[in-house]
Structure 1
Amino acid sequence: MSSSLEKPIGYEWRSSRWFIVSTISIALFAETFLYGFLVPILGYIFESRLGIEPAQRQRLTSVVLAMHGVCSAISGPVIGHFVDQLPNRKSPLLLSLLGCIVGTAIVACSRSLSLFLLGRCLQGVAGSFVWIVGLATVAETTSQDRVGTVMGLVNSFAHTGIMSGPIVSGLLLETAGYWATWSIPVVILTIDIIARLLMIEKFDDPKPNCASERTDASETTGLLTSPENQQGTPTTLGFWRTMLSNGRVFTALLVSLSIVSLSTGFDTTLPLHVDEAFGWGTGTTGFLFFCLSVPSILISPLAGWLRDRIGIRAPTTVGFVIQAILMAILGIAGNSHFSWASAEAGPAIYMTSIVAIGIVQPFVLGVANIELTAVLKEKQEENPESFGPGGGFSRIFSMAEVASTLGLILGPILSGSLTEVFGYTYMSWTWSVICIILAVLACRFLGSKS
């Protein structure tokens, strides 16, 4: 046997499903960790390193955080299109890592605002790469009957990064100093580098004459495929039209945009409301956000397992109905017009509702990733060549990435504007109505195992 056919050292475990999923989970953890890591130290960077005036800090903080989402939303479809043309996804993963490292280095070392914003743009584009390519790799590696469980595990890692990033940076900046604080991202990125270099995805599987086999297969397919099927292979524009005209896809993307908008809307409205209504300070506010986030880490794998057993329709529908009730109650708690919920009972009702929302959210989060994977695999079963050699996975996850990043941008704007104009109660009730609408759409369009 020639040396060209010998498998690399450790091939079995390096190409195994568990190692590929673990590598992508580490990558997503690193991306979300770096996003949250910057939040507590932005004030210090503005003041001590960039020399920003205090009056401009709040505005620039919003710009910096929004820039990540804007860069991701713009670059997502472009990334998805080109990655689907490549023979494997390991190179884009390594490229995204390079962009993440360079962007993080620029952010950490910047002494000018323009250079700092450039670093944030690189981080945003690299983050979009990670989500699109990473989830596409997981989807192709995982069998359809386990997609929910695996995506739930991956989402747990991502949520852990979002939670731990601000905690680590805030603690280290006070106790160890600025440069020591950045040592943690260096360690995480180093682990990420090692995992990505070790990973062997199925495209790298060393098979004899694999290149010629693919060529022969494509030539044979071209000869044997009917003109109708050839004409039915969508162009780039046709791919987007085919997917967005599918009721399951459109509903899944709308669900993703809405639930991310609702989640990020809490960042804008919750701190001010609990201060005005209950006199709660930053400590209690932080605990409330803790209650919103921790259940997603713990319950996401369970929610994914349930989706694999009974389909995504029932858990999502029931989840939105319960969330609608909780959002309605959340708006009542602390409102003086409801005497039973404004005095001693108000704080308890509010905190209980927040905990319950945190428990329910894993059943409505991540809908797009699972449903879009299912739709695409069904299309591939009908016609394996329908979306080209890349299979369309990167493009389909770029759609999910755009939906979620739009939610990051629209959520604070919508919730903040509704609260400012109509008050916190009517803002919560508006989201309650939106949840009911989403429950109806989920029941009507999303997939089911029955």
Structure 2
Amino acid sequence: MEFLKLSVKRRSSLPFIIGTIAIALFTDLFLYGVITPILPFSLVDRVGVPPEKVQAVISTLLSVYAVANITASSPIGYLADKFLSRKMPMLIGLLFLASATGLLTVGTNVPMLIIARVLQGLSAAVVWTVGLALLVDVVGPEHVGSTMGGIFGFISLGEIVAPVFGGIIYESLGYYAAFVLRVLMVEPREAKKGLQDDPESQPILRPRDDPMATNSSSPNPVVKIFFLPIYKLISHRQLIGPFWTSFVNSSLFSSFDATVPLELQKIFGFNSLQCGLMFGVLSTPYFFCGAWAGSMVDRRGSRTIGMFSYAVLGATLLLLCIPRTYSTFNVYLFGIFLALNGVVLSFTSSPGFVQSSRYVAEYELEHPTFFGYNGPYTQLFSAYNIVYSLGMIIGPIVSGFFRDRYGFIASTTYLSILSFSASIVAKVCFSDRDETEESA
């Protein structure tokens, strides 16, 4: 009995839960990253797609991922709140990820790959929505910045190692590590009950007829699933700002994926491996700066850091336009500018999360029944998923159009304007800690 109680304590500990969520998010991002660079080759060699149709098929596969993510986010936010524990939704998401992995591995035709990408999009919607909601549940809004920054720093490694160690690391540590750890993980509210009673005799989830599990009802089930309570707050500036900056961030990252490799190939003659290494230069600063940047947001608030980081990013993006011809010096210069953008980007990830998490936490204190028993965070991050996925769709389309029509300088200028707009939005919609404390 004492051993079981000790085990519950350890599995409900903050480091264990944060580590489990980080590995799950890393796994999802890793699979996304490891598939993208090999698709142009596997579609021709394994699936038999004619070379002239590869671009169209790749665009389709990328689009269905984002569409599945957008379509599933609201229902997942609704259904996840029907469970008093985050465990079951998280496991379902990882099962989707396992199914997607299997289909991508054995798929020899385009329909199978489309189904796999749909499952991958569903998995991302579940893992990111439920995982980030659980994270805020256990650390609280006061520590969202440093925790998010540290996790984003860790999962950024997925973007670095995926092209190089894809199959080996994923098969040995990816899905299985995330799945097993999530089975073992015990949420703090479960641990309290387990430590009071015999752990073997208590269910992990409360019965579905538990009155505490009942959310506010709506006469139309479709409305309940696709119109979450948090959408009623969508016009509040404390959510408009974070959602816009999230859209800008996803547009930037997806636009980099769509334009930078082609520009590296055009100017420097880079192959896929060299492009991947250059993207590592962009991602590495996240690993070193993410937690530090997030802790600054926790201490100071979102407005100042968000406003200045996006303004600086708008300027550093334009630096990428300087190297226009091949030379060893220009290769290093482009790498330095990418790294500089990576440093600044690490400061843009946390302000929106911190601002929105604190706002919905304060709103819940004033309106305790508004979000339902499980609170606001699953709904908040399902909305984030929708906004982020929209950025993944729109960003590459617009930046790719500008690059094809007017060149790389035009597409980068578009991204710079987006960043400056995010700086203005942060100034108007975000708040710092001293302002929040004074208003309280």
Q: What CA distance in whole angstroms lies between the structure 2 residues aligned with 1:94 and 1:163? A: 26
Matches within 5 A, 1:44-193: 44-169=41-166, 181=167, 184-185=170-171, 187-193=173-179
Q: What CA distance in whole angstroms lies between the structure 2 residues aligned with 1:240 and 1:384? A: 13
Give percent identity, aligned residues only.
25
Deviations 1:77-102 (A, max 9, x none): 11011112221110111111111112
Q: What CA distance in whole angstroms lies between the structure 2 residues aligned with 1:168 and 1:346? A: 28
Deviations 1:172-205 (A, max 9, x none): xxxxxxxxx3783354222122201110012323
Report the equivalent of 2:32: 35
Report the equivalent of 1:310: 300
Q: What CA distance in whole angstroms lies between the structure 2 residues aligned with 1:186 and 1:316? A: 38
Matched, 1:201 2:187: yes
Relative distance call for 1:40 and 1:327 in structure 2 (3 A) is: closer
Q: Which amino acid aligns with 2:428?
A: R
Report the equivalent of 1:440: 424
Deviations 1:347-371 (A, max 9, x none): 5654432221111001112444332
Count of aligned positions: 416
Report the equivalent of 2:337: 353
Q: Which amino acid aligns with 1:195?
A: L
SS in 1 for 2:320: helix
Q: Which amino acid aligns with 1:46?
A: L
After TM superposition, the structure 1 stretch with the greater mean CA deviation from structure 2, 106-115 or 137-146, is 106-115
**1:431 shift after superposition:** 2.3
The answer as to whether partners of 2:27 and 2:170 remain within 8 angstroms in 1 is no
Q: What CA distance in whole angstroms lies between the structure 1 residues aligned with 2:163 and 2:332? A: 27
Relative distance call for 1:186 and 1:251 in structure 2 (3 A) is: same
The answer as to whether partners of 2:30 and 2:159 remain within 8 angstroms in 1 is yes
Q: What CA distance in whole angstroms lies between the structure 2 residues aligned with 1:286 and 1:97? A: 27
The answer as to whether partners of 1:368 and 1:400 remain within 8 angstroms in 2 is no
**1:311 shift after superposition:** 0.8
**1:440 shift after superposition:** 1.3
Matched, 1:320 2:306: no
Q: What CA distance in whole angstroms lies between the structure 2 residues aligned with 1:426 and 1:436? A: 15
Q: What CA distance in whole angstroms lies between the structure 2 residues aligned with 1:200 and 1:129? A: 18
SS in 2 for 1:41: helix
Relative distance call for 1:421 and 1:43 in structure 2 (3 A) is: closer
Q: Which amino acid aligns with 1:401?
A: N
**1:345 shift after superposition:** 7.5
Relative distance call for 1:122 and 1:8 in structure 2 (3 A) is: farther
Matched, 1:377 2:361: yes
Match of 2:261 among 267, 271, 283: 271
**1:145 shift after superposition:** 2.3
Q: Give the TM-score, by structure 2 length.
A: 0.86
Q: What CA distance in whole angstroms lies between the structure 1 residues aligned with 2:108 and 2:47? A: 5
Q: What CA distance in whole angstroms lies between the structure 1 residues aligned with 2:364 and 2:426? A: 23
After TM superposition, the structure 1 stretch with the greater mean CA deviation from structure 2, 435-444 or 346-355, is 346-355
Q: Which stretches in structure 1 are left out of the alignment for 5+ residues? A: 170-180, 223-233, 336-341
The answer as to whether partners of 1:29 and 1:157 remain within 8 angstroms in 2 is yes
Q: Which amino acid aligns with 1:81?
A: Y
After TM superposition, the structure 1 stretch with the greater mean CA deviation from structure 2, 97-106 or 264-273, is 264-273
Deviations 1:104-152 (A, max 9, x none): 1122122332122212211210121000000000001003321111111
Matched, 1:245 2:245: no
**1:153 shift after superposition:** 1.5
**1:447 shift after superposition:** 2.4
Match of 1:422 among 392, 399, 406: 406
Q: Which stretches in structure 2 are left out of the alignment for 5+ residues? A: 217-222, 435-440
SS in 2 for 1:163: helix
Deviations 1:252-280 (A, max 9, x none): 11111112111221222223334444555
Report the equivalent of 1:226: none
